[in-house]
Amino acid sequence: MSEALLLEFITACAGQYSGSTVANYVFGIEAWHDVHRVPWRISKSVVSLALRAANNLAPPAKPPRPPVTSETMTAVLSHLDLALPLDAAVWACMTTTFYSISRLGEFVLRSAPALKEGKHVKRSDMELDRCEDASAATPLYVTTFFIPSTKSSTNNGETTQWAEQRGPCDPRAAMLNHLRVNNPSPDDHIFTYTNPKTRKLVPLTRSAFLTRVNTALAARGHSPIKGHCLRIGGVLEWLLRGLSFEVVKVMGRWASDAFIVYLRKRSAVLAPYIQASPLFVPFTQLIAMPTRIR
């Protein structure tokens, strides 16, 4: 590729995409040249200046997605009929995604035909773990899901968890209701439900989930949500409950501190930590991961 052609490409993208997106396109083109052993003769300084200009011309960033909160969840629940197959599956999926701080796409499909063996969570991928804790009077129980393929672990998969919660948004109660109403087989997608029109079992799709949730929210006068609002809301929920950033990071399966970008209501989250006598210091010292001193 010539320098003139690359600059023309960057010019065409400038103002249409974010600076990071344009940069990724350019680096991808350069990587293609490296892989195919095609000489890359374009000066780094030229590329750097062009990308800086593209970044300056980038369109305004979209406003941050609002988090789903317990109030949002309660509003949805008030409009659902948990005796109906779709509503039972949607509610179980919503509480599972929220309390495990998962990506919605890990528990729903883009479309029913997209179901692939070994790529999606099955009923048999859910199990109850008994955890002994010397400080607890009784054993602690955690429900664990094995996700065969995730954004950060495509081939090996990852696990995510939730535990029983107090109140109407308890994921355990929601899951037990879903299993009673829809009864997916061990090899079925975890949130399979009976289609009321065809009477056939179908996996829950992103479209069906969001349509049902947003219909419920609209009926209660709430704004619609997007899928990632659940993960953002899960982060906020656990931080406001006093969990440390490190624990939330582990729950959400982040290898870096990238989850900080999801932080909403910063003052409420940080308030207990920045007082003259921080409220969570003793607890944080117990559960925080050790700091490596160099």
pLDDT confidence of residue 272: 61
- Phi first, then psi, for residue 161 (nearest 5°) are -140, 160
Buried b (16+ CB within 10 A) or exposed e, 111-125: eeeebeeeebbbbeb
Q: Taking residues 151-165, report their average pLDDT.
A: 90
Q: Note the pLDDT tens digit of each residue in 54-70.
A: 999 988 877 777 889 99
pLDDT confidence of residue 263: 67
The separation between CA 211 and the C-alpha centre of its own chain, rounded to angstroms, equals 18
Average model confidence (pLDDT) across the chain:
87
Q: Note the pLDDT tens digit of each residue in 3-52.
A: 999 999 999 999 999 999 999 999 999 999 999 999 999 999 999 999 99
Lowest mean pLDDT among 20-34, 94-108, 114-128, 267-281: 267-281
pLDDT confidence of residue 29: 94
Q: How confident is the model at residue 287 (pLDDT cuts 50, 70, 90)?
A: very low
Task: Give the position of tokens 């094995």.
Answer: 146
Checking if the pLDDT of 185 tops 60, the result is: yes
pLDDT confidence of residue 175: 98
Report the distance separating Cα 4 and Cα 83, nearest Å. Answer: 63
Query: Which one is predicted more confidently, 246 or 206?
Result: 206
Report the distance separating Cα 106 and Cα 103, nearest Å. Answer: 5
